């Protein structure tokens, strides 16, 4: 099993009446709600959390990309990944990911991912999302019906830029470059690639064609994810793929651990409520720009089947959220049991652990993070022993990696000869 500690980085200062007074947490979120001075502490605490997770032995620490979004403060995940890469020295740096069609020209992704992979000594796990419609279309103005074609071209260009050892010309529809010669190249060429998907057959096939891991980054929990991931495994079987390694799939789950079930509710309930009530308040018109989904996907009924009802979750009790699987919460034993259900039920080898939730403060986050690392994770390690040798979907770092030097002060800088 691979456990990635993942933080969406929500803005923790949304007012209690946010849902009532504001239209949307995303796209046209009220700019006055952001305060850069508070933001300074928020970013630094969130980076502390990621570094703490590295120290606690998580396999990966994860960041992602959202724009104009008060529950995701990372327009540039690569900046966050760079910020942690010299202080978190063991975990994979999981960037899930760069929305390819938004980088112009897309070789920027090839360059920045290569830089991250080289700085971290081959610890990059790369994500290639299409990006949500909110981010891609409404915030970044990409034309919905052309987003996927642009994405595909960007993907092909990035892979070629990593692969080729001679300069080449790229005459694409969306990108024209006379001299493509990406410097530096990644250590892992290519790095393991994960694709966040939302249930379309095209994305299942894209992952299977390219040997990419399919990730379902849902906030509605593992019970509701069953049909979607089953669709992926069915497709894999239909195509007669050589193996059904669980590392071909990943899932994001909100997890809260305490000493007892009751303590979990007492400690985390308000923060979970903050997330579901305030952070997921999205104006319905921004959910899907027409043309963003393929006709095939709409016709498959995937949307009505898979699209979660966050309106409902916004007002759910702790008990309902736990029972509905939106969150896995409780004592280490409770959490382990539910995690086993998740891992076996969805057949996943990669878990993106959403351990920081809503406006959870640093100390509580550390508490839950540590309990999971010490009392849950070790007991879930061997869920898929027959696939232990599947290295395709995780990073392969250099055995001998550079150690960052100590933080310099004046005395050290002048060699102590003051």
Partner 1 sequence: MTALCLNKIKTHHAVVDVLSGGNGPDLFFLHGAGGVTAEDPFLTALAQKYRVHAPLVPGYGASDECESIRTMLDFTLHSYDVMDALGLRKPIVVGHSMGGMMAAEMAAIAPHDIDRLCLLCPAGLWLDEYPMPDIFSMVPYELPAVLFHDVEAGAAMMTAGADFSDLTFLQNFLVQNARQLGMAGKILFPIADRGLSERLYRIRAKTLLVWGASDRLTPLPYGEAFKKGIAGCELIVIEKAGHMLPLEQTDAVIRAIDRLG
Contact residues toward partner 1 (CB under 8 A) are 27, 137-138, 141, 143-146, 149, 283-286, 289-293, 295, 298-299, 301, 303-304
Complex with partner 1: residue 223 or 283, whichever CB lies closer: 283
Task: Provide, rounded to whole angstroms, the least separation between the CB of residue 202 and partner 1.
Answer: 14
Cβ 380 to partner 1, closest distance in Å? 39
Residue number, 139 or 252, with CB nearest to partner 1: 139
CA distance 153 to 327: 37
Output 167 or 285, the one with its CB closest to partner 1.
285
* Residue closer to partner 1 (CB basis): 153 or 265: 153
Residues 6+ positions from 337 with CB-CB distance below 8 Å: none
Pairing outcome for strands 92-95 and 249-257: unpaired
Q: Minimum distance between the CB of residue 304 and partner 1, rounded to whole angstroms?
A: 7
Q: Closest approach of Cβ 186 to partner 1, in Å?
A: 32
Question: Cβ neighbours of residue 39 under 8 Å, at least 6 residues apart?
Answer: 11, 73
Q: Quick one: DSSP state of residue 5?
A: E
* Separation CA 416–CA 333 (nearest Å): 53
Strand partners, 352: 4, 252
| Of residues 174 and 384, the one with the C-beta less far from partner 1 | 174
Q: Quick one: 142 or 359, whose CB is closer to partner 1?
A: 142
DSSP 80-102: HHHHHHTT--SSEEEE----GGG
For residue 413, give the H/E element and its range. Answer: helix 410-413
Cβ of residue 284: shortest distance to partner 1, in angstroms? 5
- The minimum distance between CB 97 and partner 1, in angstroms, equals 23
Nearest distance from C-beta of residue 19 to partner 1, angstroms: 18
Q: Minimum Å distance from CB 24 to partner 1?
A: 9
Spell out the residues 6+ positions from residue 234 whose beta carbon is closer than 8 angstroms to its own: none
Q: Is the peptide bond before 113 cis (omega within 30 degrees of 0)?
A: no
CA-based end-to-end distance of the chain: 52
CA distance 372 to 354: 11
Residues 112, 184: Cα–Cα separation, whole Å: 9
Pairing between β-strand 350-354 and β-strand 327-330 as defined by DSSP bridges: unpaired
- Nearest-approach distance from CB 219 to partner 1, in angstroms: 21
- Round to whole Å and give the CA distance between 140 and 344: 38
| CB nearer partner 1, residue 99 or residue 213 | 99
Q: Which is nearer to partner 1, 145 or 398 (CB)?
A: 145
From CA 288, how far away is CA 3, in angstroms rounded? 30
Question: Which residues have CB under 8 Å from 278's CB, separation 6+?
Answer: 14, 18, 19, 25, 358
- With a CB cutoff of 8 Å and minimum separation 6, the contacts of 365 are 49, 355, 356
Q: Is 98 within 8 Å of 67 (Cβ atoms)?
A: no
Give the nearest distance from C-beta 142 to partner 1 in angstroms: 9
List C-alpha distances in Å: 102 to 26, 260, 308, 371. 17, 44, 26, 38
We find the least distance from the C-beta atom of residue 298 to partner 1, in angstroms, to be 5
How many Å apart are CA 390 and CA 124, to the nearest integer? Answer: 17
């Amino acid at each position: 099993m691979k456990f990635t500690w993942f933080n969406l980085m929500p803005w923790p200062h949304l007012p209690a009446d946010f849902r009532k007074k504001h239209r949307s947490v995303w796209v046209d979120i009220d700019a006055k709600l952001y305060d850069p001075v508070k933001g300074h502490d928020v970013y630094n605490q969130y980076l502390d959390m990621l570094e703490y997770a590295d120290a606690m032995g998580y396999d990966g620490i994860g960041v992602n990309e959202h724009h104009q979004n008060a529950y995701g403060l990372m327009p540039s995940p690569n900046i966050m990944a760079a910020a942690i890469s010299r202080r978190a020295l063991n975990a994979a740096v999981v960037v899930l990911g760069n929305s390819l069609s938004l980088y112009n020209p897309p070789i920027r992704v090839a360059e920045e991912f290569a830089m991250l992979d080289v700085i971290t000594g081959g610890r990059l796990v790369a994500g290639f999302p299409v990006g949500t419609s909110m981010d891609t279309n409404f915030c970044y103005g990409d034309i919905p019906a052309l987003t996927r074609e642009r994405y595909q071209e960007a993907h092909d260009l990035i892979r070629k830029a990593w692969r080729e050892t001679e300069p080449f010309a790229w005459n694409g529809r969306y990108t024209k470059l006379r001299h493509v010669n990406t410097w530096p190249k990644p250590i892992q060429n290519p790095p393991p690639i994960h694709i966040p998907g939302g249930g379309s057959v095209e994305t299942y096939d894209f992952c299977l064609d390219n040997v990419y891991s399919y990730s379902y980054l849902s906030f509605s929990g593992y019970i509701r994810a069953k049909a979607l991931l089953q669709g992926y495994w069915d497709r894999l079987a239909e195509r007669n793929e050589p193996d059904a390694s669980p590392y071909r799939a990943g899932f994001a789950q909100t997890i809260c651990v305490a000493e007892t079930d009751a303590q979990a509710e007492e400690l985390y309930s308000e923060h979970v409520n903050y997330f579901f009530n305030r952070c997921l308040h999205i104006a319905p018109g921004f959910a899907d720009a027409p043309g963003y989904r393929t006709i095939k996907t709409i016709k498959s009924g995937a949307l009505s089947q898979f699209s979660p009802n966050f309106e409902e979750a916004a007002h759910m009790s702790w008990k309902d959220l736990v029972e509905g699987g939106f969150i896995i919460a409780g004592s280490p034993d409770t959490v382990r049991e539910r995690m086993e259900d998740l891992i076996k039920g969805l057949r996943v080898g990669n878990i993106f652990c959403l351990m920081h939730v809503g406006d959870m403060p640093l100390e509580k986050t550390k508490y839950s993070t540590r309990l999971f690392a010490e009392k849950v994770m070790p007991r879930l390690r061997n869920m898929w022993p027959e696939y232990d040798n599947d290295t395709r979907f995780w990073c392969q770092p250099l055995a001998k990696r550079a150690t960052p030097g100590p933080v310099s002060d004046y005395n050290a800088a002048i060699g102590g000869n003051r």
